[in-house]
Amino acid sequence: MKASVFLALLAVAGAFALPSQDIETKDITTDFIINLINRMIESIKGAGLDPLKIKNAAYEYDGNLLQLKAFVEDLQFTGASNIVISNLHNNIFLSLYDFDVVIPELSLIVGDSGIEANIWENIVSAEFRGSLSIKNIRLAGQVRYRGSLIVGVEIVSIVMQTGIGGIEADVNVIANGNDHSAAINVFLNDTLPNTLENYRNEINALLARIIMAIINRRT
């Protein structure tokens, strides 16, 4: 049961990026992961979520305490169905399962967008336009287990090795008439990637503990 929970978590983690890859192995665990992700990806593509293109959309809400207007123009989001399987390998002799998948790029382009809200007669407004690209999103790790799918599997430990190759942002953000573009671009291009890199070990350890906690709670 714990093995099936982990396989489902791994499949969901890759669900927004793996293209259909006609790979067949001699390992039923690996074949299960590949087939499950491929089915989920086909569903996402079929829903029109990659590529996602919005030429023009608007929304209005008029309530007693809240009035809201929002719009977006020329939005394009791509890359969510392009994951590359670098490695899926089950070493039955050492009871280790290695996985390594990469999303080469997630790209967002917004021609123009804005929102204006009136909350208890307090007006809040914001505008956003520009581009954002996240490179080489990597989800990798190693699972140590006991047993087999035939007699039952227990997950002993998980080691995660996640990371991103970088962020390229060129956005224009105005909130309540104040231009925050420079600060946000510095944060996205420099501060955030550097922080993720500096705390990579801690983030991976925390992610591994969260996954183990979910597995243990479900079994």
Write the pLDDT tens digit of every residue in 90-146. 888 898 999 998 999 999 999 999 999 998 888 999 999 999 999 999 999 999 988
Cis amide bond preceding 193, omega within 30: no
Overall size of the chain counted in residues = 219
- Across 100-114, 151-165, 198-212, least confident range: 151-165
Mean pLDDT for 163-185 is 97
Distance from C-alpha of 204 to C-alpha of 206, rounded to nearest angstrom: 5
Contact status, residue 214 vs residue 9, Cβ threshold 8 Å: yes
Identity of the residue numbered 29: T
Model pLDDT for residues 22-37, shown as the tens digit of each residue: 544 567 878 888 887 7
Residue 150's pLDDT band, with cuts at 50, 70 and 90, is low
Tell me the two tokens of residue 21.
């890859």
- Across 12-26, 86-100, 144-158, 204-218, least confident range: 12-26
DSSP-H helix ranges across the chain: 2-13, 28-46, 181-186, 192-198, 200-218
42-45 long-range contacts (CB < 8 A, ≥24 apart) are: 44/15, 44/16, 44/80, 44/81, 45/81
Distance from C-alpha of 132 to C-alpha of 118, rounded to nearest angstrom: 29
Q: Taking the CA atoms of 91, 92, 94 and 100 in sequence, report the sign of the dihedral they define.
A: positive
